[in-house]
Amino acid sequence: MDDLRQKFPLLVNHPELIYFDNAATTLKPQPVIDAVMNYYVNLSSNIHRGDYKTAVEATRHYDAVRQKVADLIHCDPDCVVYTTGTSESLNLIAQGYGMTHLVKDDVILISEVEHASNVLPWFNVAKKCECTIAYVPLNDDLSFDLDALDQIMQTKPVKIVSLAHISNVLGYVNDIDEIARIVHRNHGILVIDGAQSVGHIPVDVTKSDVDFLVFSSHKMTGPTGVGILYGKKHLLDATEPLFYGGDSNARYYKDGSYTVKDVPLKFETGTPNIEGIIGFGEAVSFIQSLDLEVLMKHVIEMQHYIMDELSKMDHVTVYNPISNTGIVMFNIEGIFPQDVAAYLGHHNICVRAGSHCSKLTCGIFETDSSVRASLYFYNTMDEARKFLEVIQSISLEAVVSLYV
């Protein structure tokens, strides 16, 4: 573990830091940073345009990333679209596919435990297309009720189902293989938000048979500003681009007619985040060099230890006991969640407090805010113990002392 942690400069430069905010963004290893720097220092050219040496080399590095991503999620590289992140990818599907295929009274099925970026794009489309939003019923433990999902699919005109593989608040892994079987048996299209799963657990879109999968580079040790949209080829062909312009068009004429390039290039207009995508390629290589299953066992061991200890504290409420991906959502009685986060921050422990971009989930727990600790493979059991020690020491008086 020490050798692995040494690859992350932030941990090396700040050994006192306990970074438990990985569901928000992950730390970046040195190879990723080096790849970004190398682009600026040695390449610094546009791609798919120049015929000179640095431009050709930049293009080679950039194009190689698409195959790396395809290998990671087990798909054809032509089905991999570069975007700016999960949010753009979901908006592209909602507007580019949903707006052109949904009609009045069709049903879009989401859940109450989705990130805002997998809710609001569908609200927008439903409003414009006069569709209905429905929600997958939840079991008592807040997992999806798949029998109820099947029943809804059979009785309502559901055309699109869009769900998280792993909830960014609750942290449990949904059975996307079974969900895909249910959705396809009932002639629906399945969109999966993989922002919290890709780079954390193995993902195989061919095996799972999902129609669309979206995820972000920065959630899996890569740079910010880079996302991936995977789609089955025939569905990408049927999806309209969000943007039009340079590098995505094939031809255009004075009379207003135009044609766009084939997928995936028809979606990739203008100069992209070249250095970010090249850096993401290094992140993919880094992730693939690891044994994710072994490392996830380590993450789950730390998470269970933290949850077990928190459950012994009378003043602490844990909201997601079935989490199995390193996410712990909790509150401390009588102390505002942001104050808990500030107190932890004062002790060099990084967590998030708030609604976690999931206000519907907060409504389930009848709270506007909570504290979220989220672990990744470079965290340690010693850090978990230190976290619990600081939680034990929190009091209203101690929090007030931060501000006086």
Mean pLDDT of 35-42: 98
Task: Write down the mean pLDDT value for the chain.
Answer: 97
Share of residues in the chain with pLDDT > 90 (%): 97
DSSP state of 21: B
pLDDT digits (tens, 9 = 90+) for 230-244: 999 999 999 999 999
Instruction: Please give the distance of CA 267 from its chain centroid, rounded to a whole number.
Output: 20
Q: What was the pLDDT predicted at 104?
A: 98
Two structure tokens written together for 150: 């099947």
Give the pLDDT band of residue 134 (cuts 50, 70, 90). very high
Q: What's the whole-model pTM score? A: 0.97
Catalytic machinery residues: 357
Q: What was the pLDDT predicted at 404?
A: 85
Q: What was the pLDDT predicted at 1?
A: 73
Distance CA 347, CA 83 (A): 37
Two structure tokens written together for 239: 């999806």
- Is the pLDDT score of 365 beyond 90? no
- Is the pLDDT score of 384 beyond 80? yes
Q: What would the DSSP string read from start to end of 97-124?
A: IIHHH--TT-EEEE-TT--GGGTHHHHH
Domains of the chain: 1-28+291-402 (3.90.1150.10), 32-289 (3.40.640.10)
Phi, psi torsion values for 165, nearest 5 degrees: -65, -45
Q: What was the pLDDT predicted at 2?
A: 80
Peptide bond into 264 cis (omega under 30): yes
Mean pLDDT of 74-97: 99
pLDDT digits (tens, 9 = 90+) for 161-181: 999 999 999 999 999 999 999
Give the pLDDT band of residue 14 (cuts 50, 70, 90). very high
